[in-house]
Structure 1
Amino acid sequence: MSATAASSRASGQAPLLGIGQVLARLQPEFPELTPSKLRFLEEQRLVSPARTASGYRKFSAADVERITVVLSMQRDQYLPLKVIRTHLEAIDAGETPALPGATSAAAFLSGARRLRRDELVTAAGATPALLDEAVSASLLPAAEIYGDEALGVLRSLVALRAVGIEPRHLRGVRAAAEREAALVERAMAPSRRADAADKARAAERGLELAGHLETVHASVVRAALGHLTR
């Protein structure tokens, strides 16, 4: 047993986790998480794991929760890491900052939802059949545990079904999203040949670009529906 782990156990705290254990815990929800990504989050001062005498990183339960917050906000809100870092630093300082158009990290820190399939269906006011149809239409992944993003999607599908719009009618949404993702991947292609840290930065930049695409997409849809308000 390492000195760090022994100290943790002696103090009654939960044992600290190595990188492999953190990946095993978080990759089911964040499959893109890699050792280099964890190191990059540390480099960006978003998490500060302890170090053993041999220099190995050891993560506490609070570290794992903080990583979950960062990855959730990056994925669900398309926020760049520098914005997330500033937001978290303000929360650490006892402030209650707001993120325009986004869910506050404080909401994640107070307990981000991790929903089983049945819990997701109940929370969304949906049916198991609707969830299955969403998965079949590639609008949601096939998973055992879902988060807030999936809950929002399923709630939207419930509302759309109420006016006759079914998941199968939205297959084109998935196809359009894949085309947009391909645009981002092509734009980031030169960076993908760089080292691990540069790849992590490229992944962050890719999420930023995805957010810009989402803004353009929403604007185009609103413009197309403009005649309804005239």
Structure 2
Amino acid sequence: MPPATRSIGQVLKILKEDFEDVSISKIRFLEGEGLITPERAPSGYRRYSAADVDRLRYILDVQKNHYLPLKVIRENLAAMDAGETTPAPQAPAPAVAPPDDTVPVTPDLAEAAALPPHRIPPAKRPIHITRKELLRLSGLSEPDLAELERLALVVPRRGTVYFGRDALTVAVVARKLGPYGMDARHLRAIKQAAEREASLIDQAVAPLARRGAPSRKAVAEVMQLILHAHAALLRNSIG
């Protein structure tokens, strides 16, 4: 008799007992990074074995309690798959003040994150917030945030389980658009437009990159110009 497998929803319910911030989008992210490889049923749905659940539990544990980056986790998993012994994770350091690259996040900051679309604020220090904090600060409901995650409109900072300032901005905007009858599907259209504009920026600065000239300033300038044009054309279209 083949071993029992579970759906992603069942796996999520099991993991939430120990990792309350885990989400379906997080599990899919780990799959996308190649850290887990669930089976696919004939219907196309993911099916997770007990070994998959144990693997997820290990990943979430060393991320939460030992702060291991994905690179190290990937190496440890490869060693475990080869039957090798991996070094025991070091005990987490005592609690300290937030590192230099983070700032405390308050509801006021959450509201300020939703800036007018035609403005680019000066560079700000990154923030690192959990999914639970993102829900609290943005005021979104669990189903609304889950839908934003499903459509990859809100994603963790790469290689971590924490969300940054852009995720908070999108979450706040999503909540504020709700009363106007706009939901994640409408934000997805905005994302697609942003991706097209990003391609325009890449094309504009490509010649500079080929010449080896610094392009960060050029990228910021082109982005600013495109956003100004975008805002002006949007105002003109609305009349």
Structure (1 or 2) with the greater helix fraction? 1
TM-score range, shorter chain: 0.3 to 0.5
TM-score (norm 1): 0.46
